[in-house]
Amino acid sequence: MEKLKQRFNDAKNALSTLEEALKEPFSKIIRDASIQRFEFTFEALWKFLKDYLHTKEGINANSPKSCFREAFTLGLLNEEETTFFLDMTDNRNETSHTYKEEAAQAIFNHLPQYKDLMTKLLKRLQQDL
């Protein structure tokens, strides 16, 4: 249980750094920093969800997409949120291509929505820690 709480805190702290970056006025440097913060926030979030599913539900899900699908099955996410998390996973996988201007801008444009959705999920799961 202690590991789960640590994973939760890691995700929550990572999310706060993403929020901080998104409050800054736009520049390419801020965009790129925000994308990097999104990367580690996403990693922290899905790893927390993985441990949550294992600890609380006895479910072994070993990839981000399988974690989000299991969260949907358990009613932790609705269908629209699940679809959005699956798209978020694809965008996370595309962040290695942010040297392409259009890819970087497209991912950056989604970050406020991603932040809001990750915040919602963490708040839901925090109640059960």
Nearby residues of 42 by Cβ (< 8 Å), 6 or more positions away: 64, 88, 89, 92, 114, 118
At residue 44 the predicted structure's pLDDT band, cuts being 50, 70 and 90, is: very high
pLDDT tens per residue across span 56-113: 999 999 999 999 999 999 999 999 999 999 999 999 988 876 678 888 899 999 999 9
Nearby residues of 69 by Cβ (< 8 Å), 6 or more positions away: 61, 82, 86
At residue 125 the predicted structure's pLDDT band, cuts being 50, 70 and 90, is: very high
What is the per-residue pLDDT for 100? 83
What is the per-residue pLDDT for 97? 66
Tokens of residue 75, six digits: 């009613």
What is the per-residue pLDDT for 1? 80
Domains (ranges, CATH) in the chain?
2-126 (1.20.120.330)
Query: How would DSSP label each residue in 81-111?
Result: HHHHHHHHHHHHHHGGGTTSHHHHHHHHHHH
Check residues 65 and 127 and name the one with the higher pLDDT. 65
Picking from 121, 76, 94, the residue whose alpha carbon sits closest to that of residue 38 is 94
Output the pTM of the full model.
Answer: 0.94
Q: Classify residue 25 by burial, with Cβ atoms within 10 Å: 0-12, 13-18, 19+.
A: exposed
